Amino acid sequence: MIVPTEWVLMLSAVLFSIGVVGVLVRRNVIVIFMAIELMLNAVNLTFVAFARSRGAVDGQVVVFFVMTVAAAEAAVGLAIIIASFRNRTTVNADELALLRG
């Protein structure tokens, strides 16, 4: 392994920022969801990089938990999207403004 940890962390920072921008600029709820997955993966990359840097596997175990939570989140989130699509026939985040004050 010849890659400096900083490089991996930089890549992770860029990926996370792309995910944040994706959540802000897209209006399709499913694509917003994918941008969230992108951010989760950026954080996973950070965990793995630091685990490698410290020579301990604890960080990789945390990544395992993050993946589990992401799977649960995807299942519930997509079910919510299907339910809201059934009621409103849209997945546009601007039109799903029922909770707007």
> Which residue number, 24 or 101, has a Cβ lying nearer to other proteins?
24
Minimum CB distance to other proteins, residue 69 (Å): 7
Minimum CB distance to other proteins, residue 82 (Å): 5
The SS3 of residue 27 is coil
Token pair, residue 36, equals 């969230």
Minimum CB distance to other proteins, residue 101 (Å): 17
> Which residue number, 87 or 100, has a Cβ lying nearer to other proteins?
87
Q: Is 63 exposed, middle or buried (0-12, 13-18, 19+ CB in 10 A)?
A: buried
> Which residue number, 37 or 101, has a Cβ lying nearer to other proteins?
37
Alpha helix positions (H), the chain: 5-25, 29-54, 58-88
CB 46 within 8 A of CB 12: yes
> Which residue number, 1 or 101, has a Cβ lying nearer to other proteins?
1
